[in-house]
Amino acid sequence: MSQRVSLWIEVVSAIAVVVSLVFVGLEIRNSSEQVEQNTEMMQISAYQDLIERIVQMNAIAIEQGASIENLLERDDKSPEDVLRLNNYLWIIFRHGDMAYFQYEKGAIDKERLRSANAPLLERLRYPEVQVRWRQVEQVFVPQYREYMSDQIAEINGG
């Protein structure tokens, strides 16, 4: 009889271990999903923060009467103008990078990517912007560089 009780205790213990492992596995999966969702929310928040900064920069530019187009169309740029232009371009390149990152992560679709990148894509028609891109492109990830190369090729008709 004690062998039988011992066998039942072992079976019940084994079942309890299996149930515990299943429970732990489910909790790990739930935790991983929560971490993934939190990461996506942080990415989206960073993207929204970047958009807000673009809006702020545009407001400053309007106040100072120094839009990117005005700077690009000037032949006689002062060193301050060149610095301001390079800062504007850096911001829209980074903005484009963040939008592309959101696209890769599935947070935005291709149509939203095009909309979010409109400030950049519109300015890529200026040769000076393309030159500046070529000067800084190596700091960006290969996928975004490829995307930008495709956009430039499309603008340049090839």
Mean per-residue pLDDT over the chain, rounded: 83
Mean pLDDT for the stretch of residues 73-80: 83
Q: Tokens 């300015």 identify what position?
A: 123
**pLDDT at 111 (0 to 100):** 92
Burial of 34 (0-12, 13-18, 19+ CB in 10 A): exposed
**pLDDT at 14 (0 to 100):** 82
Contact 97, 144 (CB under 8 A): yes
**Dist. CA 153–CA 95, nearest whole Å:** 20
Contact 120, 95 (CB under 8 A): yes
Q: What amino acid is encoded at 79 in this protein? A: P
Contact 104, 142 (CB under 8 A): no
Mean pLDDT for the stretch of residues 73-86: 83
**pLDDT at 136 (0 to 100):** 95
pLDDT greater than 60 at residue 64? no
Q: What amino acid is encoded at 63 in this protein? A: E
Longest dimension (CA), the chain: 102
Report the half-sphere exposure of 90 (CA within 13 A, side-chain side): 8
**pLDDT at 47 (0 to 100):** 66
Alpha helices (runs of H) in the chain, residue ranges in sequence order: 2-64, 68-73, 79-104, 110-116, 118-123, 127-136, 142-155
pLDDT greater than 80 at residue 106? yes
**pLDDT at 40 (0 to 100):** 79
**pLDDT at 77 (0 to 100):** 82
**pLDDT at 63 (0 to 100):** 58
pLDDT, tens only, 13-42: 888 888 888 888 888 888 888 888 888 787
Write down how long the chain is. Answer: 158
Q: Where are the domains of the chain?
A: 40-155
Among 52-56, 71-75, 145-149, 150-154, name the one with the lowest average pLDDT. 52-56
